[in-house]
Amino acid sequence: MKQIDWKTLGFDAYRTRTVVISHFKDGQWSTPEKTETFSFTFDPFAQALHYAISCFEGLKAFRQQDGRIAMFRPTENAARMQRTARYLGMPCPPEELFLQMCEDCIHGNMEFLPPYGFGASMYLRPLLIGVHPQMQLVPYPEAVFAVMCAPVGSYYGAHLRSCAAVIPGNYDRAAPKGSGSYKIGANYAATFKPYKIAHEQGYTELLYLNSSTREYVDEFGSSNFFGIRGNKYITPLSDSVLPSITNKTLQEVAADLGMEVEKRPVPLEELATFEEAGGCGTAVVITPLSRIDMKPVLEEPEVSRSFLFGTDGVVGPWSTALYRRITAIQAGEAEDTHGWCYFV
Ligand SMILES: Cc1ncc(COP(=O)(O)O)c(C=O)c1O
């Protein structure tokens, strides 16, 4: 195996060794199997391929300061996958199976678990897909649940670097009363094209508004939104954003740091009042923003409004404090008073 440079890891589909798989058929989950072929075989009519009957989770495992290995809040991911599976009418892996397969995946890929001290971790990707060959648009009680992993550094190539985002006036992420709050693959499909355009224009992130009225902030394409004013941590309450486990954690960390926490609809206008703003999620942890541009048509040059946060390029004090605290707990450097680390 080529020596991995833990310092320069990005966020890529790195090919590791072991994938752990269980099959739901005839009303039960099979005993998980570890495979090293790194490939799946499906019927060409499998539901996942045609109708996007597919969902996933994302969580991290850390080698901590004292050498122990901890997954961060994996029971939350297990619960969220069950909620998503119910939405898709799929069999749900029970929490016990979810945790066991995540542990098996870590143990089957130990040489890819980044050592302590590089700011890197092992990203676990549990995937649940409908594999029954079927043309009809109805659920079927057959699925494959697989857990794979990749060593990751920072999503954007640098830790806590401030970025620009764009609000695309002519794209939505999720329909009102649609699937936005579930972690289904199809939600991400709709973001590929606008992401490509935004990246070509130098923006790191897409910030979506609520699609029914476009009056409120929903979330980024890959993470939740938070804004900071004074000592308040403010994050949108919306039924079309993914209930982020990082955001839930940051709300508790913010309270621990003496901040006030508000989870409520965030009007677009309020962006102008935030001193700091950012995205949060497992992959990114925190992405501090220096500006958000609003473009009526993403493909066109016109910017109708810009919102600026802090001094350009300098990450604000609260964002820095939140980032430091959450990453210190994950690395075992700060006391895990909430019991978020799940040791394997
Ligand atoms: C659309 C979207 N929102 C929010 C999040 C953050 O969720 P979590 O903190 O559970 O990773 C993610 C995933 O990272 C996401 O893909």
pLDDT in tens, 31-90: 999 999 999 999 999 999 999 999 999 999 999 999 999 999 999 999 999 999 999 999
The C-alpha R_g of the chain, in whole angstroms, comes to: 20
In tens, the pLDDT along 168-223 reads 999 999 999 999 999 999 999 999 999 999 999 999 999 999 999 999 999 999 99
Ligand 1 near 319 CB (within 6 A): no
Going by CA atoms, what residue is nearest to atom 3 of ligand 1?
Answer: 223
CATH number, domain with residue 241: 3.20.10.10
Is 210 part of a structural domain of the chain? yes
Angle between helices 95-107 and 74-88 (to 10 degrees): 120
**Of 34, 177, 183, 263, which one is the catalytic site residue?**
183
In tens, the pLDDT along 248-262 reads 999 999 999 999 999
- Statement to judge: residues 326 and 192 lie in one domain: yes
- Statement to judge: residues 303 and 178 lie in one domain: yes
Q: What pLDDT sits at residue 155?
A: 56
- Statement to judge: residues 275 and 306 lie in one domain: yes
Going by CA atoms, what residue is nearest to atom 16 of ligand 1?
Answer: 222
Predicted confidence band of residue 156 (pLDDT cuts 50, 70, 90): low
Ligand 1 centre to CA of 242 (Å) is 6
Q: What pLDDT sits at residue 159?
A: 63
CATH number, domain with residue 103: 3.30.470.10
- Statement to judge: residues 178 and 309 lie in one domain: yes
- Statement to judge: residues 123 and 175 lie in one domain: no
Q: What pLDDT sits at residue 310?
A: 83
Q: The domain containing residue 231 runs over which residues?
A: 163-330
Angle between helices 245-256 and 317-330 (to 10 degrees): 110
Q: Which amino acid is at 307?
A: F
Total tally of structural domains belonging to the chain? 2
Name the domain boundary from 109, 130, 152: 152
The mean of the pLDDT values for the chain is: 95
Ligand 1 near 219 CB (within 6 A): yes
Is 335 part of a structural domain of the chain? no
Q: What pLDDT sits at residue 158?
A: 52
In tens, the pLDDT along 270-304 reads 999 999 999 999 988 999 999 999 999 999 999 99
Tell me how crowded residue 201 is: count the other CB atoms within 10 A of its CB.
14
Q: What pLDDT sits at residue 313?
A: 73
- Statement to judge: residues 145 and 172 lie in one domain: no
Lowest mean pLDDT, pick from 28-37, 264-273, 313-322:
313-322
- Statement to judge: residues 172 and 321 lie in one domain: yes
Ligand 1 near 327 CB (within 6 A): no
Q: What pLDDT sits at residue 265?
A: 98
Section 92-118 average pLDDT: 97
Predicted confidence band of residue 157 (pLDDT cuts 50, 70, 90): very low
- The 3 state secondary structure assigned to 72-135 is ECHHHHHHHHHHHHHHHCCCCCCHHHHHHHHHHHHHCCHHHCCCCCCCCEEEEEEEEEECCECC
- Confirm whether 183 is a catalytic residue: yes
Angle at 219 between CA 215 and CA 221, to 5 degrees: 125
